[in-house]
Amino acid sequence: MTAQSNLAPSSAPASKPFVITRIFDAPRDVVFEAWTGLEGVKSWMGPKGVSVVKATSDLRPGGMLHYLLRMADGKEMWGKWTYRKIAKPKRLVAVVAFCDETGAKILPHPMSPDWPRENLSITDFAEENGKTKVTVTWQPLNPTPAQQKTFDAGHEGMTMGWTGSLDKLEAYLAGAK
């Protein structure tokens, strides 16, 4: 893992962070639990057609969500979120990366070798009249110029992927009522 002493991205070439927002018809505590609890994570993580096959979580600063995703075509990839800050139920800050099955070795994106090796993910949960506004912000950490360019060009694809994940979270939350 790249050593970072603060929560801000590196001083790499400036880019526009990726941001997506969704309002869920559920209280903030419920949405935060669905976002961080293994049952919830297994139900919503990954775009449509992608499922979580295995997952473990140690929800604490320095802890890790480690998971195996399976694509519709059967391909699999491991990923991890290494938690930096947890302000339950308001904010979750993590470094997101693809990794090996142990979670120890960071690997390139299996379908995009110029994707940044690590991305800072900040997820904010705001209560609004009994509903929860979730805002996800991603920024690459220490990207090469090629990785920065790939990230910047990937916002449309990230929007599609995150929309599928957030649709699945919405369905999960509807069933949790």
Give pLDDT, residue 30.
Answer: 97
Query: Which residues of the chain are under the pLDDT cut of 50?
Result: 1-13
In single-letter form, the type of residue at position 62 comes to: G
In order of their start, the domains of the chain are: 18-176 (3.30.530.20)
* Residue appearing with tokens 């919503």: 44
Distance of alpha carbon 138 from alpha carbon 2, whole angstroms: 16
Taking alpha carbons only, the member of 75, 82, 32 closest to residue 56 is 82
Give pLDDT, residue 177.
Answer: 56
Give pLDDT, residue 96.
Answer: 98
Give pLDDT, residue 95.
Answer: 98
Give pLDDT, residue 176.
Answer: 72
Distance of alpha carbon 66 from alpha carbon 96, whole angstroms: 10
Give pLDDT, residue 170.
Answer: 97
Give pLDDT, residue 14.
Answer: 56
Give residue 123's Cα distance to chain centre: 8
Q: Got the DSSP string for 147-172?
A: HHHHHHHTHHHHHHHHHHHHHHHHHH
Give pLDDT, residue 88.
Answer: 97
**What predicted TM-score, i.e. pTM, was given to this entire model?**
0.89
Distance of alpha carbon 69 from alpha carbon 161, whole angstroms: 13
